[in-house]
A and B are shown apart, each in its own frame.
Chain A
Amino acid sequence: VFKRFVEIGRVAFISFGPHAGKLVAIVDVIDQNRALVDGPCSGVRRQAMPFKCMQLTDFVLKFPHSARQKCVRLAWEKENINEKWAATRWAKKIEAREKKAKMTDFDRYKVMKAKKMRNRIIKHEMKKLQKMSSKKGKKPEKSEKPEKSEKAQKSEKVQKAPKAQK
């Protein structure tokens, strides 16, 4: 039922407060509501932090409880948490949200054009397959699979184009 637990070494994401958006490692538990927390590689000083503002991630580091900052840093860099984090979908979603909020009017226009083009391509392929299936009644199963693969290909192309321009 629960997969992520509060434990020594658990890396957490701070959701609100002055350090919102940063990663920290739980060094020790103070009481029911607070933990001693440290983020040497993310610019968070060693401090007490309530659990409420932390969201647990999948990463766990190995260091003993109340270890000093140097140890936490070593463990962090050994596991390469920063890169692993950037590769997660969670971090990517956050980044996409930020980019969308920063979009200027010109960017919005470019995205609109890209979306339009992509949808056209998809529709085009769909129509082609529909035609084929209508011609020969035995092809509805096969038509589904190539659709999805084509969609994935085109969406990748289109996503890369506007974001590269940004």
Chain B
Amino acid sequence: MAGEKAAGEKKAGEKKPAKKKTDEKKPAEQKASQKEVGEKKKKIKKHHASRNPVLARGIGRYSRSAMYARKALYKRKYTAPETKIEKKKKEKPRATITKPVGGDKNGGSRVVKIRKMPRYYPTEDVPRKLLSHGKKPFCQHKRRLRASITPGTVLILLTGRHRGKRVVFLKQLATGLLLVTGPLVINRVPLRRAHQKFVIATSTKVDITGVKIPKHLTDAYFKKKRLRKPKHQEGEIFDTEKEKYEITEQRKSDQKAVDSQILARIKKVPQLRGYLRSTFCLSNGVYPHKLVF
């Protein structure tokens, strides 16, 4: 009974896949024929219909091993040819290394893994950040400049080793710091950066129109350099960092280039040179909030 039913089903089943496959065959054949026209010498692969008739959906007539035989897979074993690269690749990277170990009773060496398992697995790939709005990194901050500070203004430095000195403002750099020069000959202040907040802007201005400031004077030029070599030498950690600052030739030439232009304009204003040479100080009865700068 089962056999008859199976036979009956088999027939019905046979038709369907046969039909399907014939349908599929046709376009395949068409394609194949078209291909033949275009490319002359390519082998046409005619795909055989399913060799495993369907008894019911998902159930085929033959078992796996029977299908192996029917499809002649014993014939179809493909391996890629072994190339030289594959041969070379057989040399796997070293997984372990033997290291010598000191001490009498420790045996001469140990076998150590080169790549070790991770010591810690974070449970989240990236820690979740709390929602924030408008928090920009420093490089994207808006740089502001006080209206009283324009190129050529005489500024009074309030902090740093040049405190109290009067100095000429050149331009604002990309990080917002002010590029400033003595000039060097007048008050020993070189081309230097100053912070806007620690500076008093006077109303005295030197006419700096037409003064060309070299373009390589940026923040990176002025930034302090620090040597960082990770070799641990315990005795000399503090010595490796530059103790003494040395004036490079480039700085000297840049200083000359800028100062020569500015000095010419300073000479035109009477008493300005002496003014820049002097330092600012408070004395009795002098109150900064009452002074007009």
Contact = CB atoms under 8 A, between A and B. Distances in A.
The secondary structure that dominates the A interface is helix
Interface stretch (B31-39, B94-102, B236-244, B274-282): B274-282
Contacts of A73: none
Interface string A98-125: 0001111110011001000000000000
Interface in B189-215: 202-204
Nearest to B272: A106
A113 B273 CA distance: 13
A105 B293 CA distance: 5
A41 B43 CA distance: 115
B274 A109 contact: yes
A104 B271 contact: no
B202 A104 contact: yes
A70 B52 CA distance: 126
Contact of B156 (A102, A105, A113): A105
A104 B274 contact: no
Interface string B263-275: 0000000111011
Contacts of B274: 109, 113
A113 B204 contact: no
B292 interface: yes
A109 B293 contact: no
Interface in B124-159: 154, 156
A105 B271 contact: no
A104 B275 contact: no
A47 B272 CA distance: 50
Interface in A72-119: 101-106, 109-110, 113
Contacts of A101: 292
B293 A104 contact: yes
Interface string A113-144: 10000000000000000000000000000000
Contacts of B280: 105
Contact of A110 (B156, B166, B271, B291): B271
Contact of B202 (A106, A110, A113): A106
B203 A109 contact: no
A102 B202 contact: no
Contacts of B154: 105-106
Given A104-B202, A104-B203, A104-B204, A109 B275 contact: yes
Question: By CB atoms of chain B within 10 A, which of A103, A104, A106, A113 has the most?
Answer: A106
B278 A109 contact: yes
Contacts of A105: 154, 156, 166, 202-204, 280, 291, 293
B275 A106 contact: yes
A103 B274 CA distance: 18
Report the 6 A-B pairs with minimum CB-CB distance, sorted nearest first.
A106-B204, A105-B202, A109-B275, A104-B203, A105-B293, A106-B275
Interface of A: 101-106, 109-110, 113, 165
Given A104-B204, A110-B271, 13 more contacts: A101-B292, A102-B292, A105-B154, A105-B166, A105-B202, A105-B291, A106-B202, A106-B203, A106-B272, A106-B275, A109-B274, A109-B275, A113-B274
